[in-house]
Chains A and B, each alone.
Chain A
Amino acid sequence: RKEVEQDPGPFNVPEGATVAFNCTYSNSASQSFFWYRQDCRKEPKLLMSVYSSGNEDGRFTAQLNRASQYISLLIRDSKLSDSATYLCVVNAYSGGYQKVTFGIGTKLQVIP
């Protein structure tokens, strides 16, 4: 089983649609979670951190389910500018060492 799994997509959705991505992780000791956005041929940029209580930032909602070991990202009212690859990132710490694991990313294409 991969440490962090994402459906690579692509997800093709019309403007205005709601789309949801899931990401599962295998390390139960993982402690922090993030969603990053990566545009084509650009570096990843932080979209939002994911907290146990769930968090919302405008049209974006992230949730964490520790029992089932997955995180989700919900995008409402999709815009053309949301087209990108969304990377799930999981951090685990052990003995002072940090293990950062990225998912392969889910590609979203919002179509007019």
Chain B
Amino acid sequence: ETGVTQTPRHLVMGMTNKKSLKCEQHLGHNAMYWYKQSAKKPLELMFVYNFKEQTENNSVPSRFSPECPNSSHLFLHLHTLQPEDSALYLCASSQRGKASGGGSTDTQYFGPGTRLTVL
């Protein structure tokens, strides 16, 4: 049972469509993330939100637009995508902070992902 849910699980869209991916975390975490996973490439961090504020945007094209209305929900709005944007999009959440002994508690928990195909 995952504490992070994503919808839809599969999405096929044309290059002129507008769609949104939704992520919800039920873990009480304060940080949420969007990742892109393409075949034969490592996971690529796209966006990070801490306490609803975007703290990172790793040179992601503007056709991807994140939205974080509260600490439990995260959206990724998509418009005029390209075929090379086809990938698995994963959402994750974590509790930013420090564990006793100096280690980080920043373990990330992933949702099941949305498999996106752009035609």
Give residues in A with beta carbon < 8 Å to B.
Answer: 4, 31-32, 34, 42-46, 49, 51, 87, 89, 91, 96-105
The A interface, classified by DSSP as helix, strand, loop or mixed, is strand
B56 x A97 contact (CB < 8 A) = yes
A102 x B42 contact (CB < 8 A) = yes
The B interface, classified by DSSP as helix, strand, loop or mixed, is loop
Most chain A beta carbons < 10 A, residue from B43, B106, B110, B112: B43
Give residues in B with beta carbon < 8 Å to A.
Answer: 2, 31, 33, 40-43, 45, 48, 50, 55-56, 90, 96, 103-104, 106-113
A96 x B104 contact (CB < 8 A) = no
Counted as pairs of residues, one from A and one from B, with CB atoms less than 8 Å apart, the total is: 55
A49 x B107 contact (CB < 8 A) = yes
Bound Cα distance from A97 to B96, whole angstroms:
11
Most chain B beta carbons < 10 A, residue from A32, A89, A99: A32
B43 x A97 contact (CB < 8 A) = no
Known: A43-B111, A44-B110, A46-B108. A105 touches B55 (CB 8 A): no
Q: Beyond the given A31-B104, A97-B55, A100-B48, could you list 13 further A-B residue pairs with CB under 8 A, ordered by the A residue number?
A: A32-B103, A43-B90, A43-B112, A43-B113, A44-B43, A89-B108, A91-B106, A96-B55, A97-B56, A98-B96, A102-B43, A103-B42, A105-B42
B48 x A98 contact (CB < 8 A) = yes
Q: Which of A44, A100, A104 contacts B41 (CB 8 A)?
A: A104
Q: Which of B33, B43, B50, B107 contacts A46 (CB 8 A)?
A: B107
Query: 3 tightest A-B contacts by CB?
Result: A32-B104, A43-B110, A102-B43
